[in-house]
């Protein structure tokens, strides 16, 4: 006796309307409560980014130390030995590494944050969550790289016998400011990159040029007084110089640091508002 199985096809009900998730009506809010409610998703994305970054690599996180060391060696040879950039008695390899480490963190964080929404298009089109979680997770993953890269800086400090001072307490403050700034800049670029893919080409060029207008391989005080306001307007100046001041004994750059704090606050608030304002369209155009 043969038993025939009948397939049940879904019946379309013309009276049933699809459920569309949209941002709250009215003026866009920061949505900090929603971000906190999705904190588990945030950490999941951070771990995913870390695994994808070092998958099928022989050295893994060691590359995070090799890259700044190789760059530092080139600058130490060209600018330290041949050009003789003044560092007020600080060995140039240590001087350069102290500037390269925060700059490379910001550069990689903004670059990955700017493409985070487009790279996670499958996730965006399937489930709702505060979209700023993706660039924030990308920046947090680069923060792990920064921590590993700091081991090379510790080794140089020990090698050159730099004394430990209470001013080192300024480093966590500088890291927090730079983290907020990177999240804000990366999220703003990411929101525009969804609609205008040219951003993905513009950001790397801007970051390459940004290294030369940031005092990474030279001191900001070397800029003539008449033009010093231009480098002080760069929010990375206060951050990089704060690292050096805390580690190497320079005077604390209070004016550039105030600019950095103000820029970080403005950027993170602008990013929160911008992503909330545009997130209703992300799934349609990503």
Residue 54 confidence (pLDDT) above 70? yes
pTM for the structure as a whole: 0.86
Q: What is the residue-averaged pLDDT of the chain? A: 85
pLDDT of residue 101: 94
In a domain, 92, yes or no: yes
In a domain, 1, yes or no: no
Report in angstroms the alpha-carbon separations of 250 from 35, 80, 87, 260. 39, 18, 10, 18
In a domain, 27, yes or no: no
pLDDT of residue 68: 86
In a domain, 129, yes or no: yes
Domain of 207, in residue numbers: 32-285
Question: Between 98 and 10, whose confidence is greater?
Answer: 98
In a domain, 9, yes or no: no
pLDDT of residue 278: 79
Report in angstroms the alpha-carbon separations of 236 from 65, 230, 239. 21, 12, 5
- How many structural domains comprise the chain? 1
In a domain, 24, yes or no: no
What does the pLDDT average to over 65-69?
86
In a domain, 8, yes or no: no
Q: Where are the alpha helices (DSSP H) in the chain?
A: 32-37, 39-53, 62-75, 92-114, 116-119, 121-124, 133-159, 170-195, 199-210, 228-232, 235-248, 254-285
Which phi and psi angles does 223 have, rounded to 5°?
Answer: -70, 135
């Amino acid at each position: 006796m043969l038993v025939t199985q009948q397939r049940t096809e879904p019946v379309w009900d013309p009276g049933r309307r699809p459920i569309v998730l949209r941002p709250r009506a009215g003026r866009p809010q920061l949505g900090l409560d929603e971000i906190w409610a999705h904190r588990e998703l945030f950490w999941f994305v951070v771990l995913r980014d870390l695994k994808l970054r070092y998958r099928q690599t022989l050295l893994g996180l060691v590359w995070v130390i090799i890259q700044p060391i190789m760059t530092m060696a080139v600058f130490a040879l060209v600018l330290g030995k041949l050009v003789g950039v003044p560092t007020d008695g600080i060995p140039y390899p240590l001087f350069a590494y102290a500037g390269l480490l925060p700059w490379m963190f910001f550069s990689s964080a903004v670059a990955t944050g700017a493409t985070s929404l487009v790279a996670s298009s499958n996730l965006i089109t399937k489930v709702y969550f505060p979209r700023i979680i993706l660039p924030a997770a990308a920046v947090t993953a680069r923060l792990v790289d920064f921590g590993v890269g700091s081991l090379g800086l510790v080794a140089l400090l020990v090698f050159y016998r730099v004394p430990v001072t209470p001013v080192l307490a300024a480093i966590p403050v500088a890291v927090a400011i730079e983290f907020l700034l990177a999240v804000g800049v990366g999220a703003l670029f990411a929101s525009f990159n969804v609609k205008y893919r040219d951003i993905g080409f513009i950001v790397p060029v801007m970051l390459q040029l940004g290294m030369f207008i940031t005092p990474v391989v030279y001191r900001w005080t070397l800029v003539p007084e008449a033009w010093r306001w231009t480098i002080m307007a760069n929010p990375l100046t206060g951050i990089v110089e704060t690292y050096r001041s805390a580690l190497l004994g320079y005077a604390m750059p209070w004016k550039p640091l105030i600019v950095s704090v103000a820029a970080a606050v403005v950027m993170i608030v602008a990013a929160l508002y911008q992503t909330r304002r545009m997130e209703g369209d992300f799934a349609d155009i990503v």
